[in-house]
Amino acid sequence: MNFILAGHGNIAVEMKNSIEMIAGEYPNLHAITFQLGDGIETLKDKYLKIINPPTDQPFIIITDIFSGSPYNAAAILAMQLENIEVITGLSLPLCLALLHLDYASISFEEAFEQLNDIQSDFIKSFKKISKDIAEDEEF
């Protein structure tokens, strides 16, 4: 499976750097930037330089926000090329989880369901956790 990270500014490049700091290099992990003045066509060109059709290799494009320009450009390509899936919510936990799924044994749909099942593990509140621990210690 191939992955492209995309978001506003340099967030995707820095996310890739962080992923590699934690988990090592991933040759199938790419990142593009979306700078002030870039448009949908610029983004599509950046994606296509990585995807380089006509490849049958599957790509998951992970964007920062739904309906932002990086998402919209990726969605246009996903409508044109069957080997592309687009998801939003670019975050370090999401990326690490995506990279470690076994795509040889599950479909993307199953992978996406697994991510939905564990997404609550991505968001934590220190005060809530502390309160839960304190309540558990009272018993």
Residue pair 56/41 in contact (Cβ under 8 Å)? The answer is: no
Task: State the Cα–Cα distance between residues 33 and 11, nearest whole angstrom.
Answer: 7
Q: Are strands 84-88 and 29-32 parallel, antiparallel or unpaired?
A: unpaired
Residue 31 phi/psi, 5-degree rounding, is -140, 140
Sheet-wide strand order for 59-63: 29-32, 2-6, 59-63, 84-88
Say whether 8 is catalytic: yes
Residue pair 83/57 in contact (Cβ under 8 Å)? The answer is: yes
The single residue of 4, 8, 19, 87 carrying the catalytic annotation is: 8
Residues marked active site are found at: 8
